[in-house]
Amino acid sequence: MFSISKKINDWIEERLMLEDLPFFKTPDYMYKVNYWLGALVAGSFMYAVISGLLLLLYYEPSAGYTSTISIIDSIPYGSVVLYSHLYAAYAMIILAYTHMFYNYFHGAYKRPRELLWIIGVILLVLTLSASFMGYSLIGDVLAVSAVDVGAGIVSGLGLGFLNPILFGAYDSGDFTRVLALHIILVALIGLFFVLHFFLAESYGMMPSRKVKPKAPAVYTKEEWSKFNAWWPRNFVYMSSLIFLTWGFILAIPNALAYLSGYPTYLNPFLNPHPAPSPSSPAAMSVTAYPPWFFLFLFKIADFTSSYLIMVLIGAIIPLLWFILVPFIDRSAELDPMKRKVAVGVGLVFLTYFIQTTIWGAIAPAVPAKLSQLVLVFLPPPILIGLGLAFIKPRGTSPKSGTSPMISAAIFSALTLLFIGAFSMFSQYPSVLTAGAVIPLGILFALAGTKKVLNADQPSNSLPSTVTSIDVNKVNTKVKLAEIMIAILLIVSIALVAALWTIPPTGFLSNLFGIDLGIVFIMLGEAISLYHYVVYVAGKQSSTS
């Protein structure tokens, strides 16, 4: 069965000279999704570009909202393309954050990848900006209020003269300028992506720390030459990932289009439908909220009345940190436990981001008092700081004592109790509150100096797994995979046949997106199984 495919492979390889591609050769252990998060981001980006170009054929920016509605209601499969375009952007943002934090905690910003990292951070900013502009193009009451907020921030920073340049006459329903900027920003993403991609290819993917424990973590020429060539294995593996990504991008929003009745705070996350027109009476009853990826910034606006402080906290400080981290954390260590400051800051940013996003969803535009900010934002850095302080890197000599996890947890509980008691005392000074705060303070101080909690490290040794490959087992697995591939392909064909029975417009048209999405997911899965059969199992049986 696979000899034909080999022939096809060889034919393509020869004609396109794929062997000479300057792409990074890949070691076997890297065929796991966590090494390919960047490819997933790129896949979502490609989908967004393709669907965006399709939408561009029909979207009329001078009549933003009417045009959006006509794409949904009267253009064949218009809503399918529009909703999946929105979710491609969502997927791209989520995956970009995942990709960034994954590499951050792995120390991938270290030598020699500093520039690669910085371009990545720039790409994140561009992605968020392009998404904001794209979200605004919907032209509904939410989009207009989102631009209002954006324009308000620009004016608040004393840059009000930029508003007509940035947003044009959006408040009269004309989104020409917004569309132009959306496309310009996407083009910039493409440009920086090419740079990012070729830099990534030239350094290669970040090797496992077991192989390269210190920076610079790159394979030498000799090591590199022994790995799998880009064609055909990487191509196959990547195809499966891209089909899966596209499948989910298509299936999820089109399925969500049929969902209703969830609480309103889930609206920013779950609702692909546009809100009412800003000029309709129904707009009066809509609570303004930004797209979910800016909920955190929206909430920060409730912390302070100064736009400058808001932008500092919400954007400039985190961005500066991420851009400068390669120059701050300069040691050769890649083990997260040996670069605790960088890891700690990253974890705190991540926690704060999740917290403020949720806060923005459940209590939008409710001003937060300083005491509430302290209550919300003090525990995470304390917990993270303590956790990191008590966890030792691998390879430190084991000593007897309390498990560090337990010590950390007890210490954290003690800290929280102390903070609680202290804030109580500061607001209601009395004998009772003083009686609570003093002993807790003493315990806290003692624990801090490790006199109470003798925390230490248990043994780190893990049983090393000795893998002996059973040829029979592999053969059974291969058989199973082949059957699965056949089933997936047959079901896919049936689903593709069913596609043409779905009406191109109207209520049922989103089934097209669900159907096509499932087909893509099945194809992705089939290709992934093919990859296993040909490369993984094939290699195992040949080495045993």
**Applying CB under 8 A, which residues contact other proteins?**
105-106, 209-210, 335-337, 343, 347, 350-352, 354-356, 358-359, 362-363, 366, 368, 372, 375-377, 379-381, 383-384, 387-388, 391, 393-394, 403, 405-406, 408-410, 412-414, 416-417, 419-420, 423-424, 427-428, 430, 432-433
Minimum distance from residue 456 beta carbon to other proteins (Å): 15
Query: Toward other proteins, which CB reaches closer, 380 or 441?
Result: 380
Minimum distance from residue 476 beta carbon to other proteins (Å): 29
Minimum distance from residue 108 beta carbon to other proteins (Å): 12
For residues 240 and 528, the answer to whether their CB atoms sit within 8 Å is yes
Query: Toward other proteins, which CB reaches closer, 70 or 372?
Result: 372
Minimum distance from residue 415 beta carbon to other proteins (Å): 9
Can you tell me the distance from the alpha carbon of 22 to that of 14, in angstroms, rounded to the nearest whole number?
15
For residues 115 and 78, the answer to whether their CB atoms sit within 8 Å is no
Can you tell me the distance from the alpha carbon of 193 to that of 117, in angstroms, rounded to the nearest whole number?
12
Minimum distance from residue 529 beta carbon to other proteins (Å): 26
Query: Toward other proteins, which CB reaches closer, 29 or 198?
Result: 29
For residues 90 and 250, the answer to whether their CB atoms sit within 8 Å is no
Question: Interior CA angle at 512 toward 264 and 262, to 5°?
Answer: 10
What are the counts of helices (DSSP H) followed by strands (DSSP E) for the chain? 22, 0
Minimum distance from residue 169 beta carbon to other proteins (Å): 18
Can you tell me the distance from the alpha carbon of 354 to that of 117, in angstroms, rounded to the nearest whole number?
22
Minimum distance from residue 512 beta carbon to other proteins (Å): 37
Query: Toward other proteins, which CB reaches closer, 8 or 373?
Result: 373
Specify whether the backbone of 206 is left (phi greater than 0), alpha (psi in -120 to 50) or beta.
Answer: beta
Query: Toward other proteins, which CB reaches closer, 38 or 336?
Result: 336
Query: Toward other proteins, which CB reaches closer, 108 or 229?
Result: 108
Query: How does DSSP assign 312-366, residue by residue?
Result: IIIIIHHHHHHHHHHHHS-SSB-SGGG-HHHHHHHHHHHHHHHHHHHHHHHSTT-
Query: Toward other proteins, which CB reaches closer, 137 or 342?
Result: 342
Closest listed residue to residue 444, CA positions, set 415, 416, 402? 415
- For residue 228, list its beta bridge partners: 26
Minimum distance from residue 102 beta carbon to other proteins (Å): 10
For residues 205 and 99, the answer to whether their CB atoms sit within 8 Å is no
**Token representation of residue 100:** 């960034």
Query: Toward other proteins, which CB reaches closer, 4 or 431?
Result: 431
